[in-house]
Amino acid sequence: MVSEPQTTREGHPIRECRPYKVIFIGAGLLGIHFAARIQQYGPGIEAVVYERNPEVGGTWYNNTYPGVACDVPSHGYTLSWCPWGGWRRFQAPGEDCQRYALFAASKTNIRDITRFNTRVLSAKWDENAAEWTVELEDVNTGDKWTDSAPVLINGSGVLSKPKLPDLPGMDKFKGRQFHSAVWNKTPTSDFKGKRVALVGAGSTSLQILPEIQSEAGHVDQYIRSETWVVTPFGADVRAQFWDLDPVQAFTSDDPAFSNPEYSVEHKDKFANDPAFIHKHRKDILNSTNKMFADGLTEISSDMRKQAEAMYTDMTKAKLSNRPDLLDLFLPKWSIGCRRLTPAVGYFNAITSDNVEAVRTSVVSVDETGLTGADGKHREYDAIIWSTGFDTTFYPSFSVTGRNNTSIYPVEARAYLTAHAEEMPNYFTVGGPGLMSFNGDYLGGLEKILDHILRFVFKLQRERYQSVCVKTDNVVDFTAYADEYLTRTVHGQSCSSWYKNGSRDGKVRAIWCGTSLHLYDALQQPRWEDFDWERYPHERAGAARFNWLGNGRTRSELAGGDFTWYIPEVNAGQVNVPTAEDKTPLHSLYDF
């Protein structure tokens, strides 16, 4: 139960950091960032994190398939406050991403506030108590219990629910079969000399094939939809940092050019020279963000046309001996319609003598293999389902809000990705309309969570009972985003998880602008777009202003600096601040 706030103006300072509980779901990088921010700006908040795995890391703990790697250059895949000098290559293998998660976690109190091996089964809003009741389960024992808090934040991620196809006969196959996201550290040598079916053509498949091809007797990769295969991002930064030939850095499959190693000297400078690592991080993300600022995903932009022409030439060169495959890897739709799939060594693997591209979907499974939509039955010793994740944005647990409303009752839509209709005090990091493919993705998720915490701190410190986005703002924001996206390649006819796996459905996984545009939109919340509810006894009269407290600030009562508002200025060099001067982050949190 929520403790009833005092109605007296005595005893607490303005914007009191009253005891307040927040439940966060997920201990991946988002959960680690949550722990850092609460540790930094959240006095009075009891934070509880629930994680189904036995360790932090999220997707990087779960995904251990051979070749697993981050699409983003390593030093561009870090939380803003936590650079790391331990990356071994320009584009990190998944093992390094998990090592980074462990490093970042060590800088926070996340292990103290997390209950691991705990699955969320359901969450329901209790209007009378003004809190969420969360049903939980111990994944090892099956024991169930409930917890409750005024605020619930879902940070479990979009790509967290592996999606297996529902095909006749899947339970009959006599060989090994599994989803790529639950590889369970199976050695590639387990496929030595065997016939393997690799089903799917997303980034995971493109990473797996070069790793298993050399061991397997034969691999059929089932490719239902055509796709662009691109080089790892940041070729310009690679060329400059390692003094490489720019063309080779862009086109070569030699790891020395496509994914070079950081030297001992590099790592030492990353660890001990803040300016050096800062510049490298900025160079990488500047390269990424500038592509989208220049219009990489806009139909009419020169940037898109130039990028498409470069990748067309590169693909033709790499498949010069296999022109029969060109239609698979030179789609009629534009680069960016579906998620880009950077890969190293894939074209060498798909053109190998022991690999065949099977251009069909799978319609059934039996004891010995698969039958495709082409009517052919093919026999296998093992099946790897690289069929992606549930990208509907509906959580893996049931969520019931105000008026017994299920989350996203009309469709998967949200205001500024984080706020769902009829869901008081419920927030999602990476909800519908999340910032994807428009620049710095991890930075975008970090900024969304920072935006959410502004609401949490306002609830706590201004003594509100609940906040809920107005439904008409959800509807109108979705209409705005839909209108913007008509100018982009995302709506073209391609099968994409941006459209929940359909070819021509609504685009629901793309922010309506660049990542920097998202950051700006989230910087100062539009409080007027929300309904704010006070506690019943604080809705009228003098009690409405109980948040003003006893006429003192926290700083005064703590005996702190009584003149904090006077800056240190050189009287001989007085300069009026300009619009370019940035407001320190702490002032946005420390009311």
- Does 216 lie in the same domain as 349? yes
CA distance linking residue 297 with residue 336, whole number of Å: 6
The tens place of each residue's pLDDT in the chain, 591 residues long, gives 444 444 455 688 999 999 999 999 999 999 999 999 999 999 999 999 999 999 999 999 999 999 999 989 999 999 999 999 999 999 999 999 999 999 999 999 999 999 999 999 999 999 999 999 999 999 999 999 999 999 999 999 877 788 899 999 999 999 999 999 888 767 777 899 999 999 999 889 999 999 999 999 999 999 998 999 998 889 999 999 999 999 999 989 898 999 999 999 999 999 999 999 999 999 999 999 999 999 999 999 999 999 999 999 999 999 999 999 999 999 999 999 988 888 889 999 999 999 999 999 999 999 999 999 999 999 999 999 999 888 788 999 999 999 999 999 999 999 999 999 999 999 999 899 886 768 998 999 999 999 999 999 999 999 999 999 999 999 999 999 999 999 999 999 998 888 887 888 899 999 999 999 999 999 999 999 999 999 999 999 999 999 999 999 988 888 888 998 888 889 998 887 777 765 544 444 443
Q: What are phi and psi of 288, to 5 degrees?
A: -65, -50
Structure confidence at residue 185 (pLDDT): 66
Structure confidence at residue 332 (pLDDT): 93
Structure confidence at residue 584 (pLDDT): 46
**Residue 352 within any structural domain of the chain:** yes
Distances (CA, A) of 581 to 63, 325, 386, 578: 42, 53, 48, 6
Structure confidence at residue 583 (pLDDT): 52
Residue 350: which CATH number?
A: 3.50.50.60
The DSSP bridge partners found for residue 25 are 50, 154
- Does 486 lie in the same domain as 367? no
Residue 94, token pair as written in the block: 């998944």
Strands (E), 31-105: 45-50, 69-73, 91-93
**Residue 589 within any structural domain of the chain:** no
Alpha-carbon torsion 61, 63, 66, 71, what sign? negative
Give which of 514, 526, 532, 516 is closest to 468, Cα–Cα. Answer: 532
Residue pair 295/242 in contact by the 8 Å Cβ criterion: no
Last residue of a domain, one of 388, 410, 433: 388
How is 377-395 classified by DSSP, letter by letter? Answer: EEE-SEEEE---B--S---
CA distance linking residue 287 with residue 439, whole number of Å: 9
Within 515-553, where are the H helices? 515-523
Strands (E), 491-586: 530-534
- Does 494 lie in the same domain as 395? yes
Range of the domain at 63: 20-160+391-533
* Amino acid residing at 132: W
| Number of separate domains in the chain | 2
DSSP 147: E
- Does 494 lie in the same domain as 409? yes
- Does 355 lie in the same domain as 504? no
CA distance linking residue 48 with residue 45, whole number of Å: 10
Structure confidence at residue 444 (pLDDT): 93
CA distance linking residue 476 with residue 417, whole number of Å: 13
- Does 417 lie in the same domain as 378? no
- Does 191 lie in the same domain as 329? yes
Residue pair 65/180 in contact by the 8 Å Cβ criterion: yes
Reduce the DSSP state of residue 25 to 3 states and report it. Answer: strand
**Residue 575 within any structural domain of the chain:** no
Last residue of a domain, one of 489, 508, 533: 533
pLDDT digits (tens, 9 = 90+) for 472-503: 999 999 999 999 999 999 999 998 888 887 88
Burial of 457 (0-12, 13-18, 19+ CB in 10 A): buried
Reduce the DSSP state of residue 373 to 3 states and report it. Answer: coil
Last residue of a domain, one of 533, 552, 580: 533
Residue pair 154/395 in contact by the 8 Å Cβ criterion: yes
CA distance linking residue 404 with residue 317, whole number of Å: 58
In the block, residue with structure tokens 């703990």: 61
**Residue 284 within any structural domain of the chain:** no
* H/E element, 303: helix 302-318
Distances (CA, A) of 466 to 104, 255, 417, 536, 544: 32, 53, 19, 11, 15
**Residue 378 within any structural domain of the chain:** yes
**Residue 240 within any structural domain of the chain:** no
- Does 424 lie in the same domain as 527? yes
Residue 229, token pair as written in the block: 């295969």
**Residue 565 within any structural domain of the chain:** no
Residue pair 381/193 in contact by the 8 Å Cβ criterion: no
Structure confidence at residue 212 (pLDDT): 95
Q: What are phi and psi of 488, to 5 degrees?
A: -110, 170
Give which of 391, 398, 392 is closest to 120, Cα–Cα. Answer: 398
Structure confidence at residue 274 (pLDDT): 97
- Does 404 lie in the same domain as 352? no
**Residue 287 within any structural domain of the chain:** no
CA angle 84, 89, 92 (to 5 degrees): 75
* H/E element, 177: strand 176-179
CA distance linking residue 24 with residue 156, whole number of Å: 9
- Does 219 lie in the same domain as 139? no
Structure confidence at residue 102 (pLDDT): 98
Q: Side-chain half-sphere of 353: how many Cα atoms within 13 Å?
A: 1
The DSSP bridge partners found for residue 24 are 49, 153
| Pair type for strands 355-358 and 218-222 | parallel
Structure confidence at residue 388 (pLDDT): 85
Give which of 150, 155, 154 is closest to 128, Cα–Cα. Answer: 150
Structure confidence at residue 576 (pLDDT): 79
- Does 213 lie in the same domain as 68? no
- Does 146 lie in the same domain as 177? no
Residue pair 196/381 in contact by the 8 Å Cβ criterion: yes
Residue 247, token pair as written in the block: 């063309």
